[in-house]
Each structure stands twice: as structure tokens, then as C-alpha cells.
Structure 1
Amino acid sequence: MSPHENIFEKACLVQMSTSMWQGTRALDPAVMQQVNNNSTWLKGRKFLINPELLGPIKTAVHRARKEAIVAHTLPFPITGLYLVPKDSIESIESKMAFFRDRFWEKVNEFESIYDDARQEARQILGDLFDSEEYPDNIQEKFKFNWKFITITMPGKSMILSPEIYEREKEKFISMVEEAREMGIRALHQELSENVEYLMTRLSGTNGKVKILKSAMFNRMNKFLEDINTKNIFDDQRLQELAHQARKVLDNTDSVSIKYNENLRNHLHDQMAQLKTAIDESIENIPFRRIRMPDQDSAMDYPVAMSI
């Protein structure tokens, strides 16, 4: 089995899809002409309701993407898809179920005030109010879904000609190679950001030392705990850098550094050296976009199925 096939024994893909009523509409060109005769140069939109009423729903979507998807996955070359380490599937499923329920809870709350929101809009918009722009069934305008997907290298068959088979095989290999480079780079950058965060906390800003709390190490510790799960490409340099970070933290007394400036400075210097090493490693990671002429959409990759 090639390493390109093996990666999808360690991981799958996840796709999150949501939609919601935006509550805005383009203004009629005739209205814009009252502002400027050349309406082709001037476009405008109107809110159909108070936009703050949709805020809690948007927040649920944002948190789901950030906390359930991005936090547990690696980037992938196809827009809208994320690479999921096998051991993260259950965590993602559980968190997405939580945010789905949260999403619909907020949709139901919005639905309960929808009629009042329309009446408020009628009063505020005046002649610009148009009842036809408001859905009768507002629930139908909201969706929250996700699915796990597997992709495998196309196998030889009687259906594909040898030329098409070789082309699809090459596309698959290129896609996995790009995913590998994107994933490794993302993990190195995340480690660099965590180190930089600690350096900022230790040095303060504008000459003012920030209040140091034990919790400031939580972010780095969480990353180091997850590294074995996320490092599905077995990047040895990442493991070495993570080991150095663990060693520094293991030798750090989070209580003592609050009161000892020398210890803070020493820890800051260690973190600075580590960050230099991480940034050098990032520079050595290939950065390229591998694209075949017809490799512009997810549909170009055969043998994909939902789990």
C-alpha cells in the first residue's frame, strides 16, 4: 500500500454546510437614483430586520466551525473540506451535535420574535418595506449539516481507460501530497503561535508586565496533548520541536515565575530560541499549490463517499 493510500486509513474528511436567512435585500435602482442619477455607480442594500436578532444564530455557526471543526482538523486542498485524524472523529461528532442543537435553539428563538421583527421593520422602513421580501416559513431558510467523507485512490477497472486511470491516480497523489504539506505547515505554525503567545505574556507590552496565571500554559499544553493525534503525517521535526517545548514547560514552575523576574526572563529566552527553530522549520517546508488543469472542484476526485 502506498503512503498516499495509507493516509486515508489514518484520517477522513469532514464537510460542514450551513445556511441562514440573511435578512438583507438590494435596494431598487429607482431608490438609488434619488441619491445619484447614475445608479450603475451606486448600489445599496437594506436590512429587512434588526440584524442583531440574527447574531446568536451566526455565533452558533462560527463557534461550531471554530471549536468543533477547525480545532480538531488539518487543512485540505479542496475548499470546504477538512482532514480529520481518525481519533478526532468522535470528538467532532459530539461537538457538532451540541452546536446543531444550539443552532436550532437560536433559530426557534428567532422564529418566536419574527413577526414582531417584521412589524418593527414596517415602521422603520416605511415605503421601503415590502412584505413579499419576508418568507412565510422562516425555518426553511436555515440549515445545519455535516458529513464525513472518505476518498480513495481510483482502482483499475473495466470502466476507466488506462489513460484516464493514470490521470486520476496522478491527481489523487498530488492532492494527498499537497494535503501533507498543508497539514505539516499548519501544525508548525500553530506551535509557533503558541510559543509567541507565551513570549508575549512573559514580556508584556509597552513595558508593562502582564499578570501571569497558570492558565496561560493551557493553550500550549492542549496543543502538545493533541500533537500525536494530529501529526498523522509522522513529521519527525514537529515531534522534536514539540518535545523541546514539553521539556521547557516541564522544567517551569508556573507559580515561581509570577514573582521571579529572572525566571521569567530565562523562560522567555528559552521560548525565543524555540520559536527561532520553529520558524526555520517552517521555511524548510515546501509551499506549493499542486493543480491539474481540470482539478478545480471536489467533483474532480473520484471514489469519494460519505460515511
Structure 2
Amino acid sequence: MEKLIIEARINEYASRGDNPHVPWTVEEIGRDAAAVAQAGAAIVHFHARAADGAPDHAASTYAAILRAIRAAAPGLLVHPTLGQITQSDPERRIAHILELAQTGALRPEFASLDLGSTNIDVFEGAAVGFRSGDRTYVNTHGTLRRFLRAFRAAGVTPALACWSIPFLRTLGALLETGEVAQPGWVLLVHTEGGILGGHPATEAGLRAFLDHLPAGRRLHWAVCCKEGDAVPLAERAIALGGHVAIGIGDWSYPNRGTPTNAGLVAEVAALARRMGREVASPAEARAMLGLQGVGA
């Protein structure tokens, strides 16, 4: 079985009220990148944040973060966000990725690409209902194809997030047209905590994904869980030959003592080794995923 790739999802838009270890600033993200790399992560996924935790979409902030990561964790594969629902204009969503790609040393290996639209509002039970009722992440097929062309021209690999089976059907179509290259890095998004847009973080939820993963394609799939414990899901993925994306950006992990990102990565790495599976270094993950080198 191939080595396990671990992606650390270090901050998303998580607050520090639930876990004080969420990194926000450039310096904090750089330090966290070094720590998760030491713990066994091959990829770091992050959202740029202001000092008060607010989303920061400036290309200059992303550039500063890339410099901090490259200095603190040379070789670590970097995966910035497009901002999810915090920006609606398609061109603004990818502007920072394309600007970073113009400088070889700052070009990220990945850029997020969610292969469909989904509701990400939170259901808080019958007594409360939905928290807002209108939080929808919109990704039309036209937008996805435009982004794929832009990423390919920029030398950036799409990190293909799939929240449900229709996303995987779209993936199959884009593989068929050649707009998604192989090998692919596919994130199977599970959701708990009242987010209904993804599959539940159960064996059946994962099995439904795997039953509809495009057949006969070179795809490396990983599991994550928003607002829930991804470790049990990680164990199942490790056993089945998949990979793991985990971090306190997705959930605060109060059941595990509100750990650091490095602590979660170390726990998954130790679990994999107990199960007889070695963990991939960034260089090994780069080779497995067919990525270009920095500056290439």
C-alpha cells in the first residue's frame, strides 16, 4: 500500500473561542506550518486571516504567508483557499493564486476547487432551526472550467473538494473532457455539527463516496470532517488506502483536549504506523501527485 499523505487544515475561518491554538497571523501560520511538517504533514492548507481573525483576501497577505511557510518548512506543499463564501466575484476569488503563480518561489502547489454548489448553513435542531438559511457555496460548471484553465496555465494543481456524489459525477465529467489532469488530489468532505451539505462522518458516508469515485482513474483521495472528529474516519481511510486531511480549522476537537494542529497530525501519523502504513514526506507526496518543483 502506498504511503499516507497527511494534509493539515490549520485554520479555515475558525475562531479562537473554541480552540486558542488556531493560527491567524503570518508569523503564526509560518510557525504552525513548521510544526505540522515536523509532525508528519506533507501539505498545509490555510486561509489568510487578519490579526483579529477576519478573512484577508489581499494577494500581499498570501505572499507574506507563502514566504513564511517556505522559510519555516522548506519543501512543504502549500494549499491556499479561494475564500469559500467570503467572496462571490469569480475573478477576485482566484486573483491571489494567479498573482502568486507569477513568482516561481511563491507559486503554491495547490488551489482549492470545490466541484459543485452546496448549502453550508448550520441546523441547530427543531427548537432553533437553521442558523441563517442562506449560506450557500456557489460553483457553477462554467466557473469551475474557467478556474481549471487558469490554474493549468499558472502551473497550479487543483485540490478537488467533493461534498457529495454529484460532485464526484462532475469530477468524472471533467476527467472525461481532460480538464482535470491525472493524478488527482481529491478531498472527500464529510460534515457534522449541523452542516448538512456533506456526507456524514460514518463508514456508510465514506462508502457512498468510494462507490461513486470515478473508476479507472489515477486519483488519490483523502477524507476530512468539518465540525466533527475526523480521527475515526481517518482510521478507516488509512485501512482502505486513502489519505487524511485534518486540523483545528475544521473543528476545535474539545474531545481531544483542544489540541494543536501538530498534535492532531502526530496522532494520525502514529495511528498509520501502528496500522503498518508509513507516512509520506513532502517530497514523496510531490512525486506521488506528479507535482512540479517550486520555481519550475
Please give the TM-score of this superposition, normalised by the length of structure 2: 0.25
If you compute each CA radius of gyration, which structure gives the higher value, 1 or 2? 1
Q: Which structure shows the higher helix fraction? A: 1
Q: Which structure shows the higher strand fraction? A: 2
